[in-house]
Structure 1
Amino acid sequence: MSFDPKRRLFLNAWAMGAAAASISSPWRGSAMAQTPKFISDPFTMGVASGDPTQDGFVLWTRLAPEPLDPEYSIDGLVDVQCEIAEDEAFTKVVRREFAVARPDNAHCVHVEVGGLKPNRPYFYRFRVGLAVSPVGRTRTTPEFGAPLAKMRFAWHSCAHYEQGLFTAYGDLAKQNPDVILSLGDYIYEVSYGAAVRRMPVEDAFSLSDYRLIHAVHKMDPDLQAAHAAAPWLFIWDDHEVANDYQADFGKVLPGQDPAKDFPIRKYNAYKAFFESQPLRARSRFDAVNRMRIYGQSGWGDLLDFTLLDTRQYRSKGACLSPGRQEAESVSRTTCADLQDPSRTILGARQERFVSENFMRAPFKWSVLVQPTIFSTLFQKNSQGDPTAFTDGWSGFEPARQKIIDQMARRRRDVSSVVIGGDMHGFWASDVKQDYAKPESDTVAVEFVGGSISTMSFNYDRWNRLFPDNPHLKWQDDRVRGYGLVDVTPQTMDVRLMSTPTTWRRDQAFKPLKRYVVERGKAALNEA
């Protein structure tokens, strides 16, 4: 594409002066920043909020009038104003903040807001000169330990841009959730071939590649609606970077050196992810180029989310074949690595965090948020030999057992539920004290949500696993959708919302299955 100077942004600097002086804010915009006059809408990616606490949240937007045009750029630093109000009409503005959009972060803005009232909704918007963003709705959480009679959350995963429209996000936005959990594969780094639309990148490697993929996602109106509807909590899986990657080891492009080039690919992917999501500054790169994504979110005395990062700190795949860059199935009888207690999927520091968070009180419900299926899958190869797929928890059984044992020790006081994604279908299962002994105690129940759009064709294959896996109770990967949960002190009402296709916008979402989990009883009750 030839360079066209007429497409560049025209800046007209002006001092904020008395207007800035009249705004109550803990910090100011940069003295070097400018306030531009845009020739087109700078808020093409909408707005988002995340990581709610009892007194605040993170607010996000990106200034990008032409986000899919690599020749287009915004010059220099740009001052951005953010308004937070108690009402959607903004007649009760309670806070105004300034942020600086910087070119080295693709002019993304992250505003960390604090000092607000607990357990109430807020509305927010951004301003740059005369340009005003769409309005987003967010909320604060209840105070720690405060009585909470009910709350609603939704979770989702696996949104391949090419394989379906994002209508599930649009339906989710209408459900009025208090918080939305994103469980990974928010983007896919690689094209699978255009089913309903085409990605702008065939196989991402550069920072520009990953930024383009995030941009084309964020421009989707259904995804924008979901981001504007409620605060989000994030974890990731593999496709934010590359299929089946493991810590600093993973797939690269043809002709590249995995040892040299994969860390570059991961850095680019992580940077684009941080730029594109409402994450706190603590999630920025540390000294060894890691980003903290795991964490905790408490909701009064009712519920606690423990959010896991199973990618960044894990050991290399068990018994990985020489030269292989992706996970594989290995023999349970000959691969000693599968039972090696020193191998980890979380890393030592995150394991300590999980243990400490599990000891927190006074929550009635504990939700373990992780990106795939937590329950074991006993499988066999074509010769009938038992195998384990090394990418998931079945490749790290001692590490999973530590978490199960912790759930078991506290189940008299706290009811545990596990949610996951990755499987491109819905699952319901029992979390067993010992999966090798079907008669052992059930310490929790698990729900895996369907994909937003990514397709699966394994319905018969998965059903053939059930005789060897009695803890698995149900699955269906023929539909797309998300999970919607209503929580009270007595019950957790889980609706698995689905549609037969995301290739058309006129398809309704309905509960495919509904389960009610009673507090104090680790059992799946179909409603």
Structure 2
Amino acid sequence: MNMQLINRNFLATHCKRRNFLLGAGLITGLVVASQWHPVMAQTTFSGYPFSLGVASGDPLPDSVVLWTRLAPDPVNGGGMSRVNVPVQWQIARDENMTQVVQKGTVLATPELAHSVHVDVRGLEPDRWYWYQFKVGNEVSPKGRTRTAAAPHSSIQKFNFAFASCQDWQNGFYTAYKHMADEDLDLVVHLGDYIYEYGPRSGAPRQHIGPEIVTLSDYRNRYALYRTDVNLQAAHANFPWIFTWDDHEVDNNYANFIPEDNQSRQAFEGRRANAYQAYYEHMPLRLSSLPKQSSMLLYRRLTFGDLAEFNVLDTRQYRTDQPCNDGLKPRCDAALDSKATMTGARQEGWLLRGLDQSKARWNVIAQQTMLGQFDFDARPDSQVFNVDQWDGYVAARNRLLSFLAQRKPSNPVVITGDIHSSWVHDLKTDFNNPLSATVGTEFVGTSITSNFPTNSIAPVKAALSNNPHTKFFDAAYRGYVRCQLTRERWQTDYRVVSSILEENASISTLASFVVENGQPGAKTA
């Protein structure tokens, strides 16, 4: 076992001399290292070091991020010593890894829980690759990934799925088992990848330990979720794009305002812990490396001239929920022009991107329901969920007015959060059914998280008061599959028969289409 103490300058020179490609994982480890650690060419582990599988994400035409984390004892801190461990990686054109196009070595550092993020550059656009890691004598599972099509290149079809809200305790990830078998180019996760709560009695499977607060807590919770074989299969088969919602930190938090009675200083610490653990467990680029309690997550990814994804962060910069949060009639604060979901900078970035886009389909990937929905079936009263855009009416109006005036091509919003399936026509005035439809929103159900059964009937009763809402279902869990061509977008609501059966079947509950140039959804 060869151990050598080396500093940053020597390491950089040494790696260059040996023609190692410095992936983002190595650079990241060096950027955040608070102290020197010995580099250990570790050959023996207390358990399989790749227990959390492999993943890839944020595909560009010439690049993709490869991820893994060394964790021989995953839910007990990882089981690694506080040393830097060299991890080899390679990426190939074929599944048998005989046509290797790039390879290198990165350092898995204790500062990042021995995770690695390899930002592989110089790849060919719009093609499949296979990748694998090795540490000592241990080899990871193989992963498959795909680069984006070149900018402005004409592609004829693009298939992706989106998912959200996967409470470990509520059931099994059978939906991911079926997703892994789909014909997809991409998966988009819209948040609530983990839940912060402590154990719940009577649940099909349990969280370990109380509600999570510390960095170690968050790391162990991510590791628990990542041990799921179905989730690992979906990660290994496709590149993913990620954004978060609230449960990656704390239920319904807004900026630095927690759900619970906690000091600003204490919550800043908790948010910093949560953000670091999130980065450690996602295939994200160095640009998303957290700085204390801040992390840049909103970004834009383009797939030829067919689709452009604007990935939003509606938690980190938002103003506090109005009217003391919850489901209630709107108060004046819900109409405040200064209230924001995204913050001014992100809002400007989104509108500029939409205005400049050359894509046929302009996707806004975000968290809470954008379309208005009055949950009160009585004609003379209204009730709204003010954690959603219904609590940020002026901000929503600015976005929808922009869509009406500037007319970016085919805006489609994809949404998670509410553990149920919806389809909305996005209107310039939701209170006037005759007003212009300027976009379409598809809201996906959860992977496992619960929608209260006793709330389903009241929502159905209120549908007639919300004519822009074309579909609602809250009985089933699953994911949403989207098939894009140049003339049509088809959305299929894929649902499992049960989240309590590991061999549950999959079916399509409903399908909707959007025709090119015609905002609004129609039944397929």
Per the TM superposition, whether the score is higher than 0.5 is yes
Match of 1:121 in 2: 128
> Structure 1: which amino acid aligns with 2:439?
A
Contact 2:372–2:390 (CA under 8 A) maintained in structure 1:
yes
Q: Percent identical across equivalent pairs?
A: 36
For 1:340 and 1:216, locate their aligned partners in 2 and report how far apart those are by CA, in whole Å. 41
Match of 1:201 in 2: 209
Match of 1:386 in 2: 382
For 1:479 and 1:248, locate their aligned partners in 2 and report how far apart those are by CA, in whole Å. 34
Contact 2:254–2:321 (CA under 8 A) maintained in structure 1:
yes
Match of 1:277 in 2: 282
Equivalences for 1:143-222 in 2 at 5 Å?
143-191=150-198, 192-222=200-230
Partner of 1:198, secondary structure, is coil
For 2:341 and 2:413, locate their aligned partners in 1 and report how far apart those are by CA, in whole Å. 16
**CA-to-partner distance for each residue in 1:143-182, whole Å, 9 max, x for gaps?**
1110001110100001000101011111111103111000
Task: From 308, 312, 318, give the equivalent of 2:316.
Answer: 312
The question of 1:517 aligning with 2:514 is answered yes
Equivalences for 1:254-293 in 2 at 5 Å?
257-286=262-291, 289-293=293-297
**CA-to-partner distance for each residue in 1:448-478, whole Å, 9 max, x for gaps?**
1111011212321211221221111111111
Equivalences for 1:54-73 in 2 at 5 Å?
54-70=61-77, 72-73=79-80
Contact 1:419–1:449 (CA under 8 A) maintained in structure 2:
yes
Match of 1:7 in 2: none
Unaligned runs of 5+ in 2: 6-10, 31-36
CA positional deviation for 1:433: 1.1
**CA-to-partner distance for each residue in 1:35-73, whole Å, 9 max, x for gaps?**
101233100000011111010011110000011224943
Unaligned runs of 5+ in 1: 1-10, 321-326
Partner of 2:274, secondary structure, is helix
Contact 2:190–2:416 (CA under 8 A) maintained in structure 1:
yes
For 1:123 and 1:205, locate their aligned partners in 2 and report how far apart those are by CA, in whole Å. 36
Contact 2:319–2:341 (CA under 8 A) maintained in structure 1:
yes
Partner of 2:40, secondary structure, is coil
For 1:24 and 1:261, locate their aligned partners in 2 and report how far apart those are by CA, in whole Å. 41
CA positional deviation for 1:279: 0.8
**CA-to-partner distance for each residue in 1:426-448, whole Å, 9 max, x for gaps?**
11121111112111011111111
> Structure 2: which amino acid aligns with 1:370?
Q
> Structure 1: which amino acid aligns with 2:400?
I
Match of 2:43 in 1: 37
TM score, norm. by length of structure 2: 0.91
Partner of 2:165, secondary structure, is coil
Contact 1:306–1:369 (CA under 8 A) maintained in structure 2:
yes
> Structure 1: which amino acid aligns with 2:506?
F
For 2:353 and 2:124, locate their aligned partners in 1 and report how far apart those are by CA, in whole Å. 24
The question of 1:298 aligning with 2:307 is answered no
For 2:402 and 2:425, locate their aligned partners in 1 and report how far apart those are by CA, in whole Å. 16
Match of 1:328 in 2: 326
CA positional deviation for 1:123: 0.8
For 1:19 and 1:410, locate their aligned partners in 2 and report how far apart those are by CA, in whole Å. 50
Match of 1:494 in 2: 491
The question of 1:442 aligning with 2:432 is answered no
**CA-to-partner distance for each residue in 1:309-338, whole Å, 9 max, x for gaps?**
110000112133xxxxxx323433xx2211
Between 1:376-385 and 1:109-118, the stretch displaced more is 376-385
For 2:17 and 2:466, locate their aligned partners in 1 and report how far apart those are by CA, in whole Å. 65
Match of 1:404 in 2: 400
Contact 2:413–2:440 (CA under 8 A) maintained in structure 1:
yes
Contact 1:24–1:95 (CA under 8 A) maintained in structure 2:
no
For 1:442 and 1:521, locate their aligned partners in 2 and report how far apart those are by CA, in whole Å. 9
For 1:472 and 1:382, locate their aligned partners in 2 and report how far apart those are by CA, in whole Å. 17
CA positional deviation for 1:32: 4.3
Contact 1:45–1:219 (CA under 8 A) maintained in structure 2:
yes
For 2:61 and 2:19, locate their aligned partners in 1 and report how far apart those are by CA, in whole Å. 24
> Structure 2: which amino acid aligns with 1:393?
W
Describe the shift of the 1:318–1:110 C-alpha distance in structure 2 as closer, same or farther (beyond 3 A).
same
Partner of 1:461, secondary structure, is helix
For 1:196 and 1:46, locate their aligned partners in 2 and report how far apart those are by CA, in whole Å. 23
CA positional deviation for 1:523: 2.8
> Structure 2: which amino acid aligns with 1:301?
D
The question of 1:235 aligning with 2:239 is answered no
For 1:366 and 1:391, locate their aligned partners in 2 and report how far apart those are by CA, in whole Å. 25
For 2:318 and 2:373, locate their aligned partners in 1 and report how far apart those are by CA, in whole Å. 20
Describe the shift of the 1:59–1:295 C-alpha distance in structure 2 as closer, same or farther (beyond 3 A).
same
Match of 1:6 in 2: none
Match of 1:363 in 2: 359
For 1:251 and 1:414, locate their aligned partners in 2 and report how far apart those are by CA, in whole Å. 38
Contact 2:172–2:502 (CA under 8 A) maintained in structure 1:
yes
For 2:350 and 2:15, locate their aligned partners in 1 and report how far apart those are by CA, in whole Å. 46
TM score, norm. by length of structure 1: 0.91
Contact 2:426–2:520 (CA under 8 A) maintained in structure 1:
no
**CA-to-partner distance for each residue in 1:177-223, whole Å, 9 max, x for gaps?**
11100001111111444421111133111111111110011110000
Describe the shift of the 1:26–1:61 C-alpha distance in structure 2 as closer, same or farther (beyond 3 A).
closer
Partner of 1:460, secondary structure, is helix
Match of 1:135 in 2: 142
For 2:82 and 2:265, locate their aligned partners in 1 and report how far apart those are by CA, in whole Å. 33
CA positional deviation for 1:519: 0.5
Match of 2:414 in 1: 419
Contact 2:309–2:363 (CA under 8 A) maintained in structure 1:
yes
Describe the shift of the 1:187–1:194 C-alpha distance in structure 2 as closer, same or farther (beyond 3 A).
farther
Task: From 446, 450, 457, give the equivalent of 1:451.
Answer: 446
Q: How many equivalent pairs are there?
A: 504
> Structure 2: which amino acid aligns with 1:431?
L
CA positional deviation for 1:75: 3.3
For 2:118 and 2:258, locate their aligned partners in 1 and report how far apart those are by CA, in whole Å. 33
> Structure 2: which amino acid aligns with 1:449?
G
CA positional deviation for 1:360: 2.1
CA positional deviation for 1:18: 11
Between 1:137-146 and 1:375-384, the stretch displaced more is 375-384
Stretches (4+) displaced over 4 A:
14-24, 26-32, 381-384
Partner of 1:227, secondary structure, is helix
The question of 1:347 aligning with 2:353 is answered no
**CA-to-partner distance for each residue in 1:313-366, whole Å, 9 max, x for gaps?**
00112133xxxxxx323433xx22111111111001101110111012321111
For 1:302 and 1:167, locate their aligned partners in 2 and report how far apart those are by CA, in whole Å. 31
CA positional deviation for 1:526: 1.2
CA positional deviation for 1:415: 0.9
Task: From 85, 90, 109, give the equivalent of 1:78.
Answer: 85
CA positional deviation for 1:99: 1.2
Describe the shift of the 1:278–1:394 C-alpha distance in structure 2 as closer, same or farther (beyond 3 A).
same
CA positional deviation for 1:407: 1.8
Contact 2:379–2:465 (CA under 8 A) maintained in structure 1:
no
For 1:329 and 1:124, locate their aligned partners in 2 and report how far apart those are by CA, in whole Å. 47
